Structure formats: C-alpha cells, structure tokens
Structure 1
Amino acid sequence: MKSISIPFGKEVQHIELPEDHLLYDLHGNMASIVTNEKEAILRALRQPIDSKPLRDIVREDDTVAIVVSDITRLVHTEAMLPVIVSELNEAGVRDDQITIIVAQGTHRAHTPEEDVIVCGTEMARRLRIVQHDCRDKENLTYVGTTRFGNDVYINAEALQADKLILTGAVSFHPMAGYGGGRKAILPGIAGFDSIMTNHSLALAETQGDGCNPHCDTASLEENPFHQDMLEAAQMVHPDFLVNTVFTADGDLCDVVGGHWRKAWEKGCQDVLATGGVPIEEQADVTIASAGGYPKDLNLYQGCKAYMNAVFATKPGGVLILVLDCPDIKEPEIFTKWFFRSDLDQVEQELRREFLMPGFVAFKTRCIIASMKTCYVVTRPENFDIIRQTGQIPAPDVETAWKMAQQEVPEHYTVTIMGHAAATFPVYTK
C-alpha cells in the first residue's frame, strides 16, 4: 500500500492505496525553486524582459496605480508589493502617490482583513487600497472596441494614473489558456458588460455545441477568449508587469517582470514546462484536489480541479474531488446555476445573457455528466449543496474511496492529482 497526502483547505487528507492499481501520482515536472523571493522580485524589476527597469520608467512626480489580484488567487502579493513600493520610493515616488487597485473582476469586494492578508500589514497601513467595482459605471472609462465587438470599459482610476503596474500570477486557465498578464485588465479591472462579452466567447458558435473547443487549458493561438483580453490590454498599454509563477505543487519557481505581454509570455512558457505532464493512459478513477487554500476557498474556484482532472480520466470514469470550500456559496449566482439540471436550457440562457458564473457551472456540469460518478470530499455543512449538484458528498477521502470501489472494474487504475488546478495532464494518445 502507498500512503498519499492530498491538500484540503489549510490541512491535508490521507489515504492508503494499493500500489499495483496506482497509475500516476501527478505532481508536475521538476523545476528550480526560488529560495530568495525578494531577490527574485528585485531581479524581475531591475533586469526586466523587453522593458527598462521599473525605477527608470517612473518619475518622482508620477502617480502610480498597482493592480493586484484578489484573495482567491495564489500570487504572493504580500511579498511582491513591499519590493515594488521600495523601488518606487527610491525613484522618488511617495506612498501618497501610489494607489492599490484590487482586481475583483465580478467577485465581491475585500473586507479590511482580507486586504491585510493579500497586501500585507505594512502595505495595507501605508497605501490607499481601492476595491474595483465592475458595476459602478461612473468609475469606468471606455477605451475602445475589440474585433470581437467588445466595448471595453476600464477602471477610471487605473487609467488616470501616470503609470500603471500589473501584478498577478501566471497559471493554467480552463478558458483563457493561461491566467495572469492581461487578465489583470480584463476581467480584473473591467466593466461588467465588457467582462460578460469577453467571457461569452467561451461558448461554441452554434447553439447546442456547448463550449468553444479553442477556449481550453494551455490554448492561446486560436482562442478568442484570450485574444479579446489581449486587445483590451493593448488599448490600456500598462507600463510594467510583475507576475509570479508556481510549480504544480505550489512552490514559487520564477518571477517575471517587464513588458506586460512579453514578460507574461515567458511566464506561460514556465507554467507549461513545469505543469504540463504527459500521460500515456487515462485512469478509471482520478482523485483530485484543487491544491488546498485558497484554491478551494469556494466551489467556484474549485471547479478548476474538475477541468484539469477530466483530462486524466477515462470517459465515464469516476472523479473524487477533495475541496474544503468554507465559502462554498460564493458567489451565490454560481451555486444557483450549478443546481440546474437541464443543460440544454442553461446553454440557451447563457447565449441570451452570458454570465461567467453560469458558464463555469455549465462547463463543470458537462464534465460531471460525462463521468459515471463524482464524489466530493468536503466539510459536512456543504453536503446538501453537493447533493443538489448530482454529486455524492463524503467527509474524508477514505470514505469517498470506499464508495467508489463499489463501481470500478476489477483491474481498475487510479491517478492522483494533488494540485489539479495547476497540473495539466497531456494525454499523448
């Protein structure tokens, strides 16, 4: 038997599995881990990609807006911000000239405590922090229309600043191909209608065809979802970017900085090199965690585990998702869509009025429908919600595994994905 540890919120779950049935324990590829984070961030600022160093871009009388990801993203913003602000201060930019804009997209605003968690105690005390509100039209400015017909409205304060710095993390994304980079603009600090128009590109062109096949993990070249975001960012033309890159196991392996697109593309190469894992066979059962906190803070974020784990699993197989989800009902609109059983009707309604939470629910429900059974290991107060989605809840992974064993073939195979949101199985056949 082999002992397996699987991330679950801020803790881990344990399970014993027979080694002769274990197909893969996917952890991403080997990568050099950053041992001195401050030094890596400084290098990204002072030896940037296709850009002057940050301190040579700003002037002492500039106002500076720094866009940061919200609490649902693993970024290490609390480590990044002090180094960026120190560089700005050394260039003559005072704290009162700097504004932090939290890129909520359509997510809820932070609480003051969450601002401290994301930005760090000192930065939260020293700097003005603004929560982007995608529905506040008075604080949005039109910047242009993309070739996909998207009228792009962006946070006015970000546009009014003399210099705009984007931060975030490059990661796999199940619709945009990769996260980070241009996503800090759209959807990060964009208007609600601009976000929804962009995200509607994730649907196939024809009713009944479901999801656009080009809008998937690690896909960029023909991906309209990504290309629309790219055009929006080009309209804004950010002055600098700093993005972190993590291994599939959640270790920091790189910090890229410089030109908002070129530096981000280097980050995408790093993510694929570390997180893209070739597999020669799909398993009967995949046991997958999103990667623990904050990736399983809610079911909405946890869905990324489904969208990668499905690539490791045989059609009609079994998924066991390990998701803590203390904030499972956030956002509420997602859970309302997730409960819907008529997927054809859901697709019709999304085409009439696209809502990203509705689409994530739709795509995830399509994955669930393609499986024989989906079990969800979560906290007991979430059980009723999980049942309403057609899945089977379990208090721990051992219980879920005992139930799953009743419906697997005699010569079954199991794949483990402890960081499924950041691990992309590349099925070579």
Structure 2
Amino acid sequence: MSEIKLKYGSETLACRLPEARVLRPAETAVPADLRQLIEAAIDAPLGAPALSQIVRPGEQVVVVTSDITRYTGSEHYLPVLVERLNGIGVPDQDIAIVIALGIHRKQSEAEHRKILGPLFGRIAVYDHECDDPAQLVELGVTASGIPVRINRRVVEADRVIVTGTAGFHYFAGFGGGRKGLVPGVGARETCMATHFSVFNPPEVGGKHPQAKTGILDGNPVHRALLEAARMVRPDFLLNTVLSADKQILGVFCGELEAAHLAACAMARDLYAVPLEAPADLAVVSCGGHPKDINFIQSHKALDYGVQALRPGGTIILLAACPDGFGNPTFFDWFQYQDLAQFEAALRSRYEINGQTAHATLMKARQFRVILVSGFSAEQTAAMGMEKADGLEAALQMAQAKLPENPRILVIPDGGTVLPELDAGSGAKSIGSSSAGLH
C-alpha cells in the first residue's frame, strides 16, 4: 500500500490507498537564466513585428498586468519590458502600468510593490476601475451584441502591451491572452456580458458544451472575450507559463492570439494528463494554501477532478477554505437547489460568482462529492456535497459505495492538473491556429 502526501491548507496529510494511480504534471526544469528567457521571447515575437518596430520615441505606452490574485511573474518581466522601452527611446514618464482588476477590489500599496517589483516608485501605476464612467471609453458593440467599454488610460495610449499568464480556465478554456483586456480593463457590464456567453440561448437552455476547461475552439466565452479585446487594438502580448509552485517555465510574446495560443499549448503539455478509462474514485488536493484559501479558488480543483470520473463517480476534495467562500454573495446563490431555477435566476441577474456556484451544484448533482473543509455539515449540504471530518473519514465514506476492484486516482495538485479522457480527440483542440505553433 503506497502513501501519498497531500496538502490541506498549511498541513500535509498522508493518503494510504492500494493500487492508486497518481496524476502529476509533466516534469520540466526551471530555466537557469530567467532574464535570458524573457529577453529571448521579446526578441522572437510570434505573429508580430519586433517591439522596436512597433514603439516609437515620444509615444505614450501602457503596460497592462494582472492583479495580486493572478500571479504571473510580473516582478521579473516588467523590469525587462521597461528596460526595452527605455532602449527604444521611451522614458519612464511616458510609461504607465495599469492593473487589470476586472471587477476585483483595488490593490494596496504592498500589493503594487509585489506586482511591480523593482519598478515600484519609479513607473506610474494605476488600478482599473470598472464602475467609474469617467475612466471608461465606449468602443462599440461586438457582433454578438456585447457592449465594449474599456479603461480610458488604455484606450488613449499610443501603444498597449498586455501581459499575463496562460493556464486552464474552467469555462473560458484558458486564462491569459485576451483576458488581460477583457475582463481585465473592461467595464463591469462588459465583463458580465462576455462571461454570460457560457450559456446557450434561452430557447436551448443549459451551459454551452464547448465552454469548458482547456477548450478554445468553438468556445463562445473565448470568442466573446477575443472579439471584445481586439477592439482595443493591442500592440504586443507577453504571457508566461508557470510551474505548480509559481516559477516561470515559459515566456511567449507577439500578437494577441498567436502568442497566447503558443502559451496555451505549453500549459496543456505540462498539465493535461491523458487517461485511458474513467475512475470510480478521485482523491484530490487543491495543492494546499493559498490554492484552497477559499471555496471559489478551490472550485478549480473540483472542476478538473471530476473530469477523471465515470458518471456518478466519487471525488474526495481536500479544501481547507480558511477564508470561507471567497465572496459575500457566493453562498446566497444556493437558495436555488433546482438547477433549472438556478439557471433562470442567473439569466435574469448574472453574477460571475453565481456562475461558479451554479457550476458547483451542477457537478455535485452529477457526481458524489465528499468535502473535507472548514465548512459546517449544513453549508456543505447546501452546496450538494457530503462533509467528512478528515481524510480518513472521507475514504471510509467513499469506500462504502465503491464497486469491487475500483479504479482509484490521486491528484496531489488538483488546481493545476487536468485529467483528460480520450486524449487527442478533436474536442480537445486548443484553437483554430494552434496547429501551426508546434
């Protein structure tokens, strides 16, 4: 019987199971010279001219980067970008950094310091404000009817450089790329409208089948995000790919979609693990703190983990959630226990956190979810799950209903690893132009 170490909050638990398969990311060495990696990517842009051919002296340049909830390695690449801009003839006073908050809260000075690294106090930094009309500019309406209003400082800049990190996203396919602009620097209604694309038209109902993790082809959310982001006319993209412990493994630069697709391809190679057959039981750790700091963050591991299961299979989710649900309105959505009523409520009053709550309950209706967390039995039950007081108790609960000779998987870093059944099928493709990037 093997012993597998699983993180739970700040603890490490021992999981003992017979003949369990352990799913881990592909092993990749951390680059020895990070600065050289960043510079090489800037020097070899995909689908775009060199930065020195795009930016001219005297132009105002805005660099968009993620907030503290989306670590990207910005303290490493932003100084290199600014140095390159200085070398082109753009002085510090002509450069501004805009934090792509989307609908998140403003950042503290300490958080700005972490994001900017050695640039803090040297380069002007501004938080995006999605609800301030004076700071937003109307760009028009997309073909699908989404109103696009974008941060004024970004729109009025001569040149826009977008940065971020590419990784799996549970209904946009992948993060990074276009998401730095929308929802990153979009108005609240623009953010909500693009995310609402997760649903089929009302006459069809339900969630669109292609709006899921790791899929860009045919994904209506990705299509809406990309169409809206292109209206900003960004000049250059820099996206990183990170290890599970947040070290930069890859850097991709160039045109908005081309560079993003290349980054997504690397992320898939690292974190998508093929499975020949579905499991009866998956024991999943989010990866410990801060990946299980709250339930909204932990949902990612739940979403990925159930993809390894047969219909009606069981998942044990280790998610400490010391900060609770992660949003004050998230739990309120579980007043709707009927999925059809839940969907109707979301269609009439869409919230991104409500979408996460709906996705949680939908998975809890399709699979047996045993949750090890700090939530009460009542709170756990409202989310459609069963509470277990620890890993051993959860294993006993699960084994009572498993078939003879069950297929069991353990995923120690469930927030990054995506199990994929029938890998290589057309439904798993990243994007229409990804084939040309390998």
Percent of residue pairs identical: 33
2:57 equivalent in structure 1:
60
Task: Decide whether aligned partners of structure 1 residues 30 and 329 sit closer, same or farther in structure 2, where only a CA change above 3 A counts.
Answer: closer
1:164 equivalent in structure 2:
160
Task: Please give the per-residue CA displacement for 1:96-146, whole angstroms capped at 9, x wherever unaligned.
Answer: 3222211121222222222223332x3233232222121222211111211
Task: Please give the per-residue CA displacement for 1:176-200, whole angstroms capped at 9, x wherever unaligned.
Answer: 1111100111111111111111111
**Separation (CA, whole Å) in 2 of partners of 1:58 and 1:419:** 41
**Separation (CA, whole Å) in 2 of partners of 1:396 and 1:229:** 40
2:434 equivalent in structure 1:
none
Shift of 1:52: 2.8
Shift of 1:12: 5.0
Q: Following superposition of structure 1 onto structure 2, how do residues 8-407 of structure 1 map, counting pairs within 5 Å?
A: 8-9=8-9, 11=10, 13-20=12-19, 22=20, 24-120=21-117, 122-206=118-202, 209-247=205-243, 252-338=248-334, 340-372=336-368, 374-378=369-373, 380=374, 385-394=379-388, 396-407=390-401
- Asked if structure 1 preserves the Cα contact closer than 8 Å seen for 2:242 and 2:248, the reply is yes
Task: Please give the per-residue CA displacement for 1:280-328, whole angstroms capped at 9, x wherever unaligned.
Answer: 1222221223334443333222211111111101222221222233433
**Separation (CA, whole Å) in 2 of partners of 1:166 and 1:68:** 6
Secondary structure of 1:420's match? Answer: coil
- Asked if structure 2 preserves the Cα contact closer than 8 Å seen for 1:48 and 1:256, the reply is yes
Shift of 1:168: 0.7
- Asked if structure 1 preserves the Cα contact closer than 8 Å seen for 2:297 and 2:326, the reply is no
Shift of 1:368: 1.2
Shift of 1:410: 4.0
Task: Decide whether aligned partners of structure 1 residues 90 and 6 sit closer, same or farther in structure 2, where only a CA change above 3 A counts.
Answer: farther
Task: Please give the per-residue CA displacement for 1:336-361, whole angstroms capped at 9, x wherever unaligned.
Answer: 22454232211001112322111111
Secondary structure of 1:244's match? Answer: strand
- Asked if structure 1 preserves the Cα contact closer than 8 Å seen for 2:364 and 2:383, the reply is no
Secondary structure of 2:86's match? Answer: helix
Shift of 1:245: 1.1
- Asked if structure 2 preserves the Cα contact closer than 8 Å seen for 1:169 and 1:180, the reply is yes
Task: Decide whether aligned partners of structure 1 residues 386 and 118 sit closer, same or farther in structure 2, where only a CA change above 3 A counts.
Answer: farther
Q: Which runs of 5+ in 1 are unaligned?
A: none
What is the aligned counterpart of 1:411 among 397, 405, 411?
405
**Separation (CA, whole Å) in 2 of partners of 1:240 and 1:264:** 11
**Bigger mean CA deviation after superposition, 69-78 or 190-199:** 69-78
Amino acid of the structure 2 residue aligned with 1:325: C
**Bigger mean CA deviation after superposition, 393-402 or 141-150:** 393-402
Amino acid of the structure 1 residue aligned with 2:47: D
Secondary structure of 1:376's match? Answer: strand
Number of residues paired by the alignment? 423
- Asked if structure 1 preserves the Cα contact closer than 8 Å seen for 2:294 and 2:325, the reply is yes
- Asked if structure 1 preserves the Cα contact closer than 8 Å seen for 2:99 and 2:127, the reply is yes
Task: Decide whether aligned partners of structure 1 residues 216 and 132 sit closer, same or farther in structure 2, where only a CA change above 3 A counts.
Answer: same
- Asked if structure 2 preserves the Cα contact closer than 8 Å seen for 1:249 and 1:418, the reply is no
Secondary structure of 1:195's match? Answer: helix
- Asked if structure 2 preserves the Cα contact closer than 8 Å seen for 1:15 and 1:398, the reply is no
Amino acid of the structure 2 residue aligned with 1:401: L
Task: Decide whether aligned partners of structure 1 residues 18 and 289 sit closer, same or farther in structure 2, where only a CA change above 3 A counts.
Answer: closer
Shift of 1:264: 0.8
Secondary structure of 1:236's match? Answer: coil
Task: Decide whether aligned partners of structure 1 residues 315 and 141 sit closer, same or farther in structure 2, where only a CA change above 3 A counts.
Answer: same
Q: Pairwise CA RMSD of aligned residues? A: 2.4
Task: Decide whether aligned partners of structure 1 residues 258 and 383 sit closer, same or farther in structure 2, where only a CA change above 3 A counts.
Answer: farther
Task: Please give the per-residue CA displacement for 1:156-176, whole angstroms capped at 9, x wherever unaligned.
Answer: 111112211111111111111
Task: Decide whether aligned partners of structure 1 residues 289 and 252 sit closer, same or farther in structure 2, where only a CA change above 3 A counts.
Answer: farther
Shift of 1:73: 1.7
**Separation (CA, whole Å) in 1 of partners of 2:178 and 2:296:** 21
Task: Decide whether aligned partners of structure 1 residues 114 and 408 sit closer, same or farther in structure 2, where only a CA change above 3 A counts.
Answer: farther
Q: Which runs of 5+ in 2 are unaligned?
A: 424-438
Task: Decide whether aligned partners of structure 1 residues 263 and 149 sit closer, same or farther in structure 2, where only a CA change above 3 A counts.
Answer: same
Task: Please give the per-residue CA displacement for 1:229-277, whole angstroms capped at 9, x wherever unaligned.
Answer: 1111211111111111135675533110111211111111112222221
TM-score w.r.t. length of structure 1: 0.91
Task: Decide whether aligned partners of structure 1 residues 322 and 114 sit closer, same or farther in structure 2, where only a CA change above 3 A counts.
Answer: farther
**Bigger mean CA deviation after superposition, 32-41 or 171-180:** 32-41
**Separation (CA, whole Å) in 1 of partners of 2:205 and 2:16:** 39
